[in-house]
Amino acid sequence: MKKLPTLICLLFSLAVYSQQFVYKPVNPMFGGDTFNYQMLLSSANAQNPFDNRENDLLNLRGTSTLDNFTDSLNRQILSQLSQKIFQEQFGTGELKPGTYNFGSLYIEITSVTGGLYVNILNTSTGEQSEIFIPQ
């Protein structure tokens, strides 16, 4: 009696067919069908969070010469102002280790072997830059 279910299972297992699994990539760059290209491109464009605008540095053709001159003048004035503040804070000599605050910027200068380590933290955004100045 116990052999009958085993025999039935054995007979059904003989009738089972199998086939080999074959992988075919979807992406045409990796051997997939070339007709999938448009579908993949439209899907990627739909998920792209960035604008399709050109880089602002490359988009100078749309601005006038007067606007370019004004922007250049503003950059030079801000550069000279930052140099003056830097010289007043640190003097005309070399950087001294310590901590400094400039508005929302927290600057920590530490002396390490072989140079200075400068850590700049923007407290409003959390961005951080680390600079090593060799001596």
At 16-35, the pLDDT tens digits run: 667 788 888 888 878 888 88
- Compute the distance between CA of residue 29 and CA of residue 37 in angstroms, rounded to an integer: 9
- Asked if 107 and 100 count as a contact pair (C-beta separation under 8 A), the reply is yes
The predicted-structure confidence for 95-110, as pLDDT tens digits, reads as follows 678 888 877 888 888 8
Q: How confident is the model at residue 13 (pLDDT cuts 50, 70, 90)?
A: low
CA distance 78 to 85: 11
Q: Are 111 and 97 in contact (CB under 8 A)?
A: yes
pLDDT-based confidence at residue 5 (cuts at 50, 70, 90): confident
CA distance 117 to 95: 10
Give the containing element (helix H, strand E) for 3. helix 3-14
